[in-house]
Chains A and B, each alone.
Chain A
Amino acid sequence: MIKLQAPAFITRHVLFALVAGGLGGVAFMFFLLEFDHYTSSNEFCTTCHSMTYADDSYQQSAHYNSASGVRASCGDCHVSEGIVMATYDHVIGTKDLIKQVFGKADYDDPAVNLLHLPDAAFAAREWFRKRDSATCKRCHALDAIQGTRANTAAIHQEETDGKTCIDCHMNLVHRHVPSEQTFKREAWNAMVEEELDLAPGTAARLLSGEDGPEQVAASEPQAEPTAEPESAPAPAPAAKLAEEPVAGSSAN
């Protein structure tokens, strides 16, 4: 029989600390699991009024009302899988929370919210792209895609080299936003003004007045937890936003 001889520095106190720390660590892991789970839920996300605008379009989408009964929650798409990445996403996402609470822009205001939507969408798309649409693939397996039309399967088998889900399937759940490459801020502003019955010029004023240059106008109304580490390239004051070509997949 092998008898383990504990080293001399393992004293009683050390042993106790190790056990307590280990148990604490396990408990912390469970806490994180629960925390990530809770903070990925629709209920949590829509605690902020600004998120209810994203919720509206989501509730009209097939990801909310699927024929099969499967329903994707905010976090299913916008929070990475696994305790480490999920936690990371949530930590990064805190900056959205900070801006929601302390930022100068009132994202609860429908006009402000809609004016910032494109930047949020661009950031979210980039987030998906960087992760190779990993969260899509939680449910959708390329090999299994059949579709209802004759060639849907063939298209997904034969035409998707070098592409990731989000490259084609953008504007799927939330309100339509053009690609960053073709986005036109003035046209978007005019649309917001027309839709919400605002005087011409209001949109630009809302963007420049309320949004200090230090504000990162990205990723706001989209999904808080969707924090978005590096991709939101600290854009200019919102009024002048846009038009920076997206690198990577959309070039060419």
Chain B
Amino acid sequence: MKASPNRSRPRPHSRRQNPAAWLLLALCALLALPAAAEKVKLDPSEWGHPAGENCASCHEKASPGIAEQWHQSAHKSAGVNCMDCHQADAADVDAIEHEGHVIATIVSPKDCGRCHEKEYREQEGSVHAEAYAIIKDRVPALAHNVTGPEMQAAGCDQCHGSRVKVRGDGTLDPATWPNSGIGRINPDGSKGSCSSCHGRHSFSKAQAREPSACVRCHSGPDSPDKEIFEASKHGMIYAAQRDAMNLHADTWVAGKDYTAAPTCVTCHMGAAGKVPATHDVGMRNAWSLNTPVSQRQYLVVLDDGSKLELPADAKPPKRGSELTKADGSTAKVKVVATPERRRLVMSTVCLECHSKTMTEGFMRQFDDVVELYNSKFGEPAAAIMAGLYDAGLLTPLPFDEPLEYTYWELWHDEGARARHGASMMSPNHAWWEGMYLVGRNFYSRFLPEARAVAGEQAAALVDAHIDGAEGHAWLANQGEGNPILGWMPPPQPEPAASADADAESTAPAPDSQEPAAEHAPDAGSAAVDAEDAAAVADAGDTATEETPQ
């Protein structure tokens, strides 16, 4: 991939650039974000399917769990029965006959959208709806090659969604179903799965507002948002004040209906002050955080209602121009929201509780971490990998070489963790579980392994990318004191002992790379390690010998 020298200054630039865009954006905000939590507009005569009146009688016995959930649900009190959601046309690919009625097992977002049209439209264009498309080309390399296709159904697809296959005999292929992944490709062509967050069959508002609604997927090594939230001040207060969260309220506007703490929903989708609620969950994200190099992103709203994210270091696409979407189809640009605009929406949520200076200060700290990651690790690592591939020193086949795992974990796990940690205020995830591991990996695994792969070309293909870079300049100070690991240079040498002291100051040179050797998997560096240790021991001996002098 092309590493863009993201020198962190696109912001004022684009802000100055087109004042007309701001007008457009205001319009966009009005169009794309209607003002309040939406009530169902469909006429009540459109639901209460007569054929659905008797389902419960049998299902109370056959599947009492879901029947009871429905009995307790808002759907039931509104008169929405099984057939309202499960009805199907005989011509639908996944239609089946059940007790004399034509139904479909899968209730797709399109089905939910009959009543919940606004939510359907919003999620349809969201990054959630693209969750399958985003990784579909990666799945063969990881799930299929490294493990086996079985893992796609049990792993990847559980979160990202499956492409549901209806077999010729009308049954749903168990390799793709059951599935409630958020980017599921449904038999009716719609994308997503409402039940991913809204557990069926109670479809409780309160449940979806809880952070636990997101936990099934937003946890673990690559996007530990659950862990980060729980470790943050927000999460801490939420846990203590859960009773004050007013989770069952009809509307749920931060600052109005609840003030105790934010949840995932609050910042990423929720209504707050004048910010309307949205089911386009990524809309307020200025950065891409789960990429090898983070980028500020435009949100491009297309004329078919779908959306697209484009790096903000390029010129924004022109209104009316045609763009190719992730699924290969094309659509015309309706409006473009700049990353600044997206950030503004997110920050406006903060303002319900925090001052503007505090909010801006926090965002600054967050942006700094992302930019640090980019410039110090993400960009050089990407460039080194690209060089090794170009030089034919790595096979294009992914995950057949140890360095590829190292690189993958650097950005996909550790790097994403650091960036997410900073975005949601978990110091532990920003540092120990995040950027510290990025640094450790970069210096102790990635660089040594990359040098080994590059062999004689290491200077050109590897070191050239870090030599002289500000962030890596510390490597040059090889002789400095080392209180953190317990070694200090001897006291200022007497003039007579100056020759010895010179020798010492060079002796620990390989020592500074000791952590590298420690974690390098191959025996060669273990040997180096031993030598280093000997050198340290020597130096130590010399030191103790000399100290009394």
Contact = CB atoms under 8 A, between A and B. Distances in A.
A41 interface: no
Contact of B61 (A151, A163, A168): A151
Interface in A107-134: none
Interface string B56-69: 01100110100000
Nearest to B92: A182
A250 B95 CA distance: 14
A182 B62 contact: no
B11 interface: no
Looking at chain B, what size class is its interface with the partner chain?
20 to 34
B178 to A, nearest CB: 17
Nearest to A155: B61
Contacts of A187: 93, 166-168, 170
Contacts of B137: none
A179 interface: yes
Interface string B88-114: 001001011101111000000000000
Contacts of A155: 58, 61-62
B171 interface: yes
A108 B93 CA distance: 30
- From B62, B90, B167, B168, residue with most partner A Cβ within 10 Å: B168
A184 B99 contact: no
B167 to A, nearest CB: 6
A159 B61 contact: yes
A155 B100 CA distance: 16
Contacts of B168: 184, 187-192, 194
B169 interface: yes
A167 interface: yes
- From B51, B64, B99, residue with most partner A Cβ within 10 Å: B99
Contacts of B99: 163, 167-168
B58 A159 contact: yes
Dominant secondary structure at the B interface: mixed
Contacts of A188: 168-169
A178 B169 contact: yes
Given A154-B61, A155-B61, A190-B168, A182 B96 contact: yes
Interface string A145-164: 00000110011001100010
Interface in B24-64: 51, 57-58, 61-62, 64
B113 to A, nearest CB: 23
A190 B93 CA distance: 13
A59 interface: no
B100 A249 contact: yes
B481 to A, nearest CB: 70
A176 interface: yes
Nearest to A195: B168
A92 interface: no
Contact of A182 (B51, B58, B167, B170): B170
A155 B170 CA distance: 26
Contact of A191 (B90, B97, B100, B167): B167
B81 to A, nearest CB: 16
A252 B100 contact: yes
A182 B102 contact: yes
A203 to B, nearest CB: 10
A177 interface: yes
A151 B169 contact: no
A65 interface: no
A158 to B, nearest CB: 8
22 contacts: A150-B61, A151-B62, A155-B61, A158-B61, A159-B58, A163-B99, A177-B169, A179-B96, A179-B97, A181-B102, A182-B90, A182-B97, A183-B170, A184-B93, A184-B168, A184-B170, A187-B168, A188-B168, A191-B168, A194-B168, A250-B100, A252-B101
Interface of A: 150-151, 154-155, 158-159, 163, 167-168, 175-179, 181-184, 187-192, 194, 245, 249-252
A-B residue pairs, 9 tightest by C-beta:
A191-B168, A151-B61, A178-B170, A179-B97, A187-B168, A182-B95, A159-B58, A188-B168, A176-B169
Given A151-B61, A168-B99, A176-B169, 4 more contacts: A155-B61, A179-B96, A181-B97, A251-B100
